[in-house]
Amino acid sequence: MSNIVSPSILSADFGNLANDILMLNDSNADWVHIDVMDGQFVPNISFGMPVIDYIDTLSKKPLDIHLMISKPERYIENFLKYNTKVLTIHLEACRHLHRAIHEIKTKGAMAGVAINPHTDVNHLDEIINDIDIVCLMSVNPGFSGQKFIENSFNKVKKLKKIIQEKKSNCKIQVDGGVNIKNAKKLINNGADVLVAGNFIFKSENPRENIISLKEI
């Protein structure tokens, strides 16, 4: 099974958002990664429902929604009304993670848990059999275009081991600073899903860069 590529729309040209979504429709991308930020959980505010309504209408690819907001359980329903393949919430932002995860699953999406660079993967031990995907942040969440944190390679390995030991089907997604230079090692260490913003949208040929990540 080949790896999954999820381009992060945060790096798109918001003055020509339709163009970038149509480009993705016509590409080998699997999902569209949507970064929602509230200015509280992370030091930045991105976009909300009116923009996602629009993306959802135009996109032929399912949405992979990454909520970087405090108390994400308040908005689960709102983000599941789209063609949502994955809904990811942060372990650090949610008090009753188990309940929130099961709400996402019973409403028909893949349930994702994201962890910040400082969070040990062992914190996922008790929940790894309940979730469909872990989003390992390889930058501090809040901005696209940041430098990849090298320790993320070890985290992917450690997490893969936990997943195998627990016989979980959970996928590993890596988000932040992913490019052609680090992608191979990430996949070799156990990553299944690569999120990339700048590497795709700031390039001369976004479709080719998507293919390059898929074919690694």
* Site residues, Zn ion (CB under 5 A): 35, 66, 175
Partner in contact with 152, chosen from Zn ion, ligand DX5, none, beta carbon below 5 to 8 Å by kind: none
By CB under 6 A, the residues from 131 to 170 that bind ligand DX5 are 139, 141-146
Identify whether 56 is a catalytic site residue.
no
- Alpha-carbon gap, residue 209 to 49, rounded angstroms: 28
CA distances, 195 to each of 13, 52, 101, 166 (Å): 17, 18, 21, 25
Which of residues 89 and 121 has its CB atom nearest to Zn ion in the complex?
89
DSSP secondary structure string for all residues of 106-152: HTTSEEEEEE-TTS-GGGGTTTTTT-SEEEEESS-TT-SSPPPPTTH
Identify whether 35 is a catalytic site residue.
yes
Given 30, 64, 132, 175, the catalytic residue: 175
Which of residues 83 and 198 has its CB atom nearest to ligand DX5 in the complex?
198
By CB under 6 A, the residues from 10 to 29 that bind ligand DX5 are 10-11
**Bridge partner residues of 38 (DSSP):** 45
Closest approach of Zn ion to the CB of residue 111, in Å? 16
Q: By CB under 6 A, is residue 33 in contact with ligand DX5?
A: yes
By CB under 6 A, the residues from 51 to 110 that bind ligand DX5 are 66
Rg of the chain over CA atoms, in angstroms? 16
Which of residues 119 and 168 has its CB atom nearest to ligand DX5 in the complex?
119
- Alpha-carbon gap, residue 72 to 129, rounded angstroms: 21
Given 35, 38, 64, 132, the catalytic residue: 35
Residues 6+ apart with CB under 8 A from 55: 9, 17, 21, 32, 34, 63
Residues binding ligand DX5 (CB under 6 A): 8, 10-11, 33, 35, 66, 139, 141-146, 175-178, 195-199
